[in-house]
Amino acid sequence: MNDISLVDLIKKGGALLEITGSTPKEALDCFIQNIRLPADLPADVLLQAVLERESLMATSIGGGIAVPHPRNPLLSNESEQFIAIAFLKRPVEWQALDGVPVQNLILLVSSSARAHLHSLSRVHFLCQEEAFCSLLAKKASKEEIIKTVGAIEKEWEEKAALKEASNSLSLYTPVSEM
């Protein structure tokens, strides 16, 4: 599997404003009914899978954000994976540990367990970035989100490259230092 970027996943899934619902189920239903899904993924199948995951444990991660996702991959084609972002019209109680009602949903749909875990981990790191959270708070456009997420991912790659270079340099300790 090639590691796909969050930007590419968000480009496929998009961002939706004014998603309605007064419960997680209602909000998820409205959200899923309004996104463009791959032809082989019916909305009712995705909704059922996401609700089954929610029944195990709420996907709210704090700060007014929930990351709903199915437990198991629903897509057979890696190129169909996506992340869709929803801005709720009104905050919804989502059993968040911090007690903050959810205002933003980040739906993750993957084609494999490995891709799912990789993307889920990156989404959680993304939700800790102040620049991204401020975009969610102001209900930014898809274009603004993509631009900012791209910059954040570039920064992550640069930090990883620096760390890797630093680690490889430490493997070559000069004889004079031994």
> What does the domain layout of the chain look like in residue ranges?
6-170
Q: Name the residue type at position 101.
A: P
Q: Give pLDDT tens digits for 32-42.
A: 999 999 999 99
Q: Which CATH class is domain 6-170?
A: alpha beta
| 3-state per-residue secondary structure call for 126-141 | HCCCHHHHHHHHCCCC
Q: Say how far residue 102 (Cα) sits from the centre of its chain.
A: 15
% of the chain at pLDDT higher than 70: 93
pTM of the entire predicted model = 0.89
Q: Is 43 a residue whose pLDDT tops 80?
A: yes
Complete edge-to-edge strand list for the sheet that includes strand 15-19: 15-19, 82-92, 102-109, 65-66, 60-62
- What pLDDT was estimated at residue 37? 96
Separation of alpha carbons 20 and 44, rounded Å: 17
| 154-174 pLDDT per residue, tens | 999 988 888 877 776 655 555
Q: How many Å apart are CA 159 and CA 96, to the nearest integer?
A: 31
Least confident stretch, 1-10, 40-49, 91-100: 1-10
pLDDT at 20: 97
- What per-residue confidence (pLDDT) applies to 95? 94
Q: Mean pLDDT for the chain?
A: 92
Give the model's pLDDT for residue 1: 41
Q: What is the pLDDT of residue 113?
A: 94
- pLDDT tens across 93-140, in order? 999 999 999 999 999 999 999 999 999 999 999 999 999 999 999 999
Name which residue leads in pLDDT, 12 or 159. Answer: 12
